[in-house]
Amino acid sequence: MIKIEVAHDVFTLAEVFTISRGSRSRADVLTVTLRDGDVTGRGECVPYARYGETLDSVMRQIKGLPADLTREGLQGLLPAGAARNAVDCAFWDMAAKCAGVRVWDLLGLPVPGPQATAYTLSLDTAAAMQAQAARHAHRPLLKIKLGTPDDMARLEAVRRGAPDAPIIVDANEGWTAEVYAELAPHLVRLGVRMVEQPLPAGADDMLAEIARPLPVCADESCHDRTSLPELAGKYDMVNIKLDKAGGLTEALALKADAISAGFGVMVGCMLGSSLAMAPATLLAQGVAFTDLDGPLLLAEDRDTPLHFDERGVHPPAADLWG
């Protein structure tokens, strides 16, 4: 029988982090530990209010799971979301420990390597964002959170601060079709490589009707494989996040189906610790964009955290996960 434990952990951020929906000074996560005799497995999730999740609601979902739970059975017991993610990833961690191999061996995947990751600039005044961009201009990819009336001033400022850095933009559902159509030529002029979720999920049909001069990536509009049919003709890419997909099991299947359907793939994250990012490093192998910078924004992290260097984010050590 599997013993399921769940704990609320808090990680202080290095700086206050702001997007169009609000500001945060800490990351609140749930850590799941599965125990089967002497073997344990861990996973982490970040409940997200945008999807109707709270720490309490996700904790209740996890605590309500049966003791005879299996990873295969889990897929039908919980919907795609944070709760299933943490438990699914904990099962993979435990399976690797039981077998005495790394999780990529269990999955039949090549040994993963480091992946260059985006670094997200917090939403601020144009002057402050220019200063942020200058400090991080050496990074392989900058991600800018927009979705406000002052977006162009901020974007121009970031480009002044980091004139040569590749840039991607996340509007967080903050634009209308008219605003996006007006901004798109300027995004191209400033060398933006891709824009995430310019229109609200559920109100994005106009993306099929207007020009898309740069790749448009579905974030809030894409959760698991059932999302894909609705995205055809509107989006060029999908952002796969473990917390949205409901774990590594579904995320790997979503990645395969998205590629088969002709979508480019980005692998993203919520604001969590290295334990949350660890399974996503497997998912990120070979994708167009990787955005697994959560640990870089923390003032404190897990024991044996993920390693970041000039090549990007490295796969986890076995002591962390998998």
Which residues are tagged catalytic?
145, 241
> In b/e form, how buried is each residue of 44-72, taking b as 16+ CB within 10 angstroms?
bbbbbeeeebebeebbebbeebeeebebe
Instruction: Give dist(CA 43, CA 322) in Å, integer.
Output: 10
Report the alpha-carbon angle 27-225-276, nearest 5.
20
Q: What is the crossing angle of helices 248-260 and 82-99, to 10°?
A: 100
What is the layout of strands, in order, in the sheet containing 192-196? 119-121, 142-145, 167-170, 192-196, 216-218, 237-240, 264-267, 289-290
Query: Residue 309 burial (CB < 10 Å; 0-12/13-18/19+)?
Result: exposed
Asked whether the beta carbons of 90 and 42 are under 8 A apart, the reply is yes
Cα 201 to Cα 206: distance, rounded to the nearest angstrom: 11
Contact call for residues 27 and 271 (beta carbons, < 8 A): yes
Q: What is the DSSP letter of 307?
A: P
SS3 304: coil
Q: Which of 38, 39, 37, 31 is nearest to 62 (CA)?
A: 31
C-alpha 216/C-alpha 141 separation (Å) is 17
CA dist., res. 186 & res. 156, Å (int)? 9
| Structural Rg of the chain based on CA atoms | 19
